[in-house]
Amino acid sequence: MELLSQIEEIFKMVVQYGVLLMECVGVVILLVTTAKSIWGCIKRDPHVRLTLAQGIALALEFKLGGEVLRTVIVRERSELVILGAIILLRGALTFLIHWEIKNEEAHLE
């Protein structure tokens, strides 16, 4: 039993670091995309909306991946409900942003 609890603790720590990594990557992508989009606005780039939408979508994908990974270590039903709601919201946002990207690409052609 001692070995099993140690393995469980190691697994939990690996998952937590994985979630942290995915969340950080999402934040970095969002910050870089924001900086590029601000620069694009200054230069009056016609593709700035598309660039921003693609960056936000990619950042949301990483954040969503972190939430899905977090479900592995959830212990209580209330935590699972909250995580499920977050996943649904981020999934809906991702869907809407991909729809916006398609519309923007069609508009630019």
pLDDT < 50 regions, the chain:
none
For residue 39, the number of C-alpha atoms closer than 13 Å in the C-beta half-sphere is: 7
**Six-digit token pair at 103?**
């519309």
**Six-digit token pair at 109?**
């052609």
Whole-number pLDDT of residue 77: 85
- The string of pLDDT tens digits covering residues 33-46 is 999 999 999 999 88
Whether the CB-CB separation of 31 and 61 falls below 8 Å is answered with no
For residue 17, the number of C-alpha atoms closer than 13 Å in the C-beta half-sphere is: 6
Whole-number pLDDT of residue 104: 80
* Rounded alpha-carbon distances, angstroms, from residue 41 to 14, 46, 100: 40, 8, 18
**Distance from chain centroid for Cα 26:** 5
pTM score of the predicted model = 0.79
Whole-number pLDDT of residue 86: 85
Whether the CB-CB separation of 12 and 19 falls below 8 Å is answered with no
The residue assigned the tokens 């694009």 is 40
Whole-number pLDDT of residue 106: 82
Whole-number pLDDT of residue 33: 95
Q: Whose CA is closest to 83, among 71, 93, 72? A: 71
